[in-house]
Amino acid sequence: MAVEPARGLPAGEADGRRTEADVLVVGAGPAGAAAAYHLARHGVDVILADKASFPREKVCGDGLTPRGVRAIQGMGVDPTEAGFVRVDGLRVYGPTVVLDLPWPKLERLPDFGVVRTRHDLDHLLVQRAVKAGATLWERAEAVAPLVDDGWVVGASVRREDGEAETVRARYVLAADGAASRFAGKAGVRRDPTRPLGVAARRYYRSPRPQGTYFESWFDLWENGVILPGYGWIFPVGDGILNVGAGLLNTTSHFKEVSPRRMLDVFLRTLPEEWGMVEANAEGELLSGPLPMGMNRRPLALPGLLLLGDAGGVVNPFTGEGIAYAIESAEVAAELVHDALASDRPGLAHSYPIELRRRYGRYFTVGRAFARAIGNATFMRLSVLYGFPRERLMRFALRMLANLTDGRDGDLDDRVMDWIVRIAPER
Ligand SMILES: Cc1cc2nc3c(=O)[nH]c(=O)nc-3n(C[C@H](O)[C@H](O)[C@H](O)COP(=O)(O)OP(=O)(O)OC[C@H]3O[C@@H](n4cnc5c(N)ncnc54)[C@H](O)[C@@H]3O)c2cc1C
């Protein structure tokens, strides 16, 4: 459905030097591309601006759980086509066991995950947005929001290293990633009581045959002390592995242990014959933050909504963010479209309420979990006594990766209610 043009705004030019749109999306990662895709499919006039040009690299584990697969399917991407590596579940390495946990079979979700480099995946998603009708601006950096009488009414955008120009829009969607400097300039802040992860990854060419599982290690030791983090290996295809490690700021050692050090320890833990050595490394080691559990406040200001990492919409159990970036973008796109079509701006501003309705309870449980595993004793006991119990671990996988059918009253539902009741919320 086409939306009426913005009232009172100067008419934009039809070519690439436009000065207005119904919606300006800042950042074309999964969140921005998904928002632009869903808005354009509704006939909304949308500019998708990114300071980079695509394809571009993004530090990530490159892994999509079944939830992530569903999210990209919702953008018309076929995750079975060439380039995607299929993943059948999670393999967990503990001190005494190695456990294969296939994805649960659920009605609402596919039964497989995938791996695809962000270099390729993000490009694919941007192309989907453009095909749906969004106008893409590459090498276009939104330097500051434009605020008029308390409303964000556009942004100052610098294109191709030229002068910054004013772009007016009825809504601005900040999808500018974990640092989110753009939204910061509008007054959005990180909530320091909510968890933050940091992680590092590097690609390795390995002689080891590629499996069809996400592999993770939770018992990384250094000098007899268990480190407060985890390591992963994800199969990228063509003999390349994405090898990474991360940790949470809920641990008291957060300031002493960098993700690079975690990755170093992890690489030294791995068998020599897997070949995770400098000579087999492809590209640089990169690291980045994971803003979790909706740790940005507020998630919306008049005229501005925060999507994906910009809003801290990352699973606090796992650090999975791609699925949540796309899901939050879809919610925002629906609300903004409804607000534009019915000329009821209040609809768009119910976005934080809608996100809390969807994720509030789950993220509350996730934050409690993040605080608990920041405690070295809890972590050690979980690894020692939890890992050998397969049924418990299958349940843990469903909870951690948010893979449930969401039925009221089932076991997952009851356990989450119980944890929310006993978890002191911060
Ligand atoms: C080491 C690491 C490993 C991870 N592994 C996984 C994983 O395996 N699976 C998973 O699901 N999640 C993973 N995540 C999280 C995931 O990467 C993020 O949650 C996801 O990228 C969020 O998408 P986004 O669109 O919100 O932000 P981004 O993907 O960061 O995209 C933001 C975009 O905004 C652009 N931009 C920024 N500022 C501006 C500006 N001012 N103007 C214009 N453009 C701007 C950037 O160029 C970028 O393209 C990992 C994160 C890290 C750090």
Tell me, what's the pLDDT at 419?
A: 66
Q: What is the pLDDT of residues 61-73, one digit of tens each?
A: 999 999 999 999 9
What is the end-to-end Cα distance of the chain in Å, rounded? Answer: 42
Residue 18 clears pLDDT 90, i.e. is over it: no
Query: Which residue's alpha carbon is at the smallest distance from atom 8 of ligand 1?
Result: 61
Sign, CA torsion 358/359/360/365: positive
Q: Whose CA is nearest to atom 21 of ligand 1?
A: 322
Structure tokens at 9: 């705004």
Q: Does the CB atom of residue 62 touch ligand 1 within 6 A?
A: yes
CA–centroid distance, 35 to ligand 1, in Å, is 14
Q: Give the mean model confidence (pLDDT) for residues 256-261.
A: 85
Ligand 1 contact via 51 beta carbon (within 6 Å): yes
Question: pTM, whole model, 2 decimals?
Answer: 0.91
Instruction: Taking the CA atoms of 290, 293, 295 and 296 in sequence, report the sign of the dihedral they define.
Output: positive
pLDDT computed for residue 66 by the predictor: 96
CB of 298 closer than 8 Å to CB of 286: no
- Please report the domains of the chain, with CATH numbers, ordered by start residue: 20-57+119-192+293-361 (3.50.50.60)
- In this prediction, residue 22 carries a pLDDT of 97
Average pLDDT over residues 94-114: 89
Please tell me the distance between residue 64's alpha carbon and the centre of ligand 1 in angstroms.
13
Using a pLDDT cut of 90, give the percent of the chain over it. 62
Q: If you take atom 39 of ligand 1, which residue's CA is the nearest one?
A: 176
- Tokens representing residue 296 in the block: 């940005």
Radius of gyration of the chain (CA): 22
Nearest CA to ligand 1 atom 33: 27
Query: Which of 60-64, 207-211, 346-350, 404-408 comes out lowest in average pLDDT?
Result: 404-408
pLDDT digits over 139-148, tens only? 999 999 999 9
Using DSSP's 3-state secondary structure scheme, residue 334 falls into helix
pLDDT in tens, 26-49: 999 999 999 999 999 999 999 999
pLDDT in tens, 156-215: 999 986 889 999 999 999 999 999 999 999 999 988 888 788 999 999 999 988 889 999
Tell me if residue 371 falls in helix, strand or coil. Answer: helix
Query: Does residue 31 have its Cβ closer than 6 Å to ligand 1?
Result: yes
**Distance between CA atoms of 43 and 327, rounded to whole angstroms?**
19
Q: Which residue minimizes the CA distance to atom 15 of ligand 1?
A: 321
Residue 60's DSSP bridge partners are: none
- Percentage of the chain modeled with pLDDT above 70: 88
Task: Judge whether residue 407 has pLDDT over 70.
Answer: no
